[in-house]
Amino acid sequence: MPGQRDLVVGRVGRAHGVRGDVAVEVRTDVPELRFAVGVRLRTDPESAGPLIVTQRKEHSGRLLLHFTGIDDRAAAEALAGTWLVIGESEAGQAGEGAWWDHELLGLAVHDGAGALLGQVSEVVHLPGQELLAVVTLDGREVLVPFVQALVPEVDVASGRVVVTPPEGLFEL
């Protein structure tokens, strides 16, 4: 749909085996819904899809998917790096204590005492955790682990995030 915002729910990783399975880096709190058998996913780049999930399994802590028409290792390898997306209208609410990346971008970052530290410029997704990239008032980038202990408050409606960083994180 024109003008619709795409939300990333995953990224295709490496091929697994020789029959077209791929590992997927999950970027959603509801993978059982987003990657259920029969689900049709749009892709970025658009030319890689759409992809329809025909099989879903866990292997060594990773999600493996098989898509219609991706039936060998070469086809699976060609998908590596492809973003799996849904439209904002398909997503619904992120749920309590969860946010879509685009909702966090541009939020003002304050410390526990209320001092302005900077602004969220990006949400960095790593295999083990997410980080908030914060551009400080003097233009530096600081990466803050996006965990409850360090980011106790996110208030999208008021446009602010409160962080309680360890000593020295925001100093030069």
Q: Where are the domains of the chain?
A: 6-91, 101-163
Distance CA 87, CA 50 (A): 13
pLDDT band at 3 (very low <50, low <70, confident <90, very high): very low
| Alpha helix stretches (DSSP H) within 7-144 | 31-34, 73-78, 88-91, 101-104
39-68 pLDDT, tens digit each = 999 898 988 889 999 999 988 888 999 999
76-95 pLDDT, tens digit each = 999 999 999 887 656 555 45
Helix (H) or strand (E) holding 13: strand 6-16
Taking the whole predicted model, whether its pTM rises above 0.85 is answered as no
Q: Is residue 90 helix, strand or coil?
A: helix
129-163 pLDDT, tens digit each = 788 999 999 999 999 998 888 988 998 889 999 99
CATH for 101-163 is 2.30.30.240
Bridge pairing between strands 108-111 and 160-163 = parallel
- Looking at CATH, the fold of the domain delimited by 6-91 is given as Elongation Factor Tu (Ef-tu); domain 3 (2.40.30)
Confidence at residue 2, expressed as pLDDT on a 0 to 100 scale: 31
117-126 pLDDT, tens digit each = 999 998 887 7
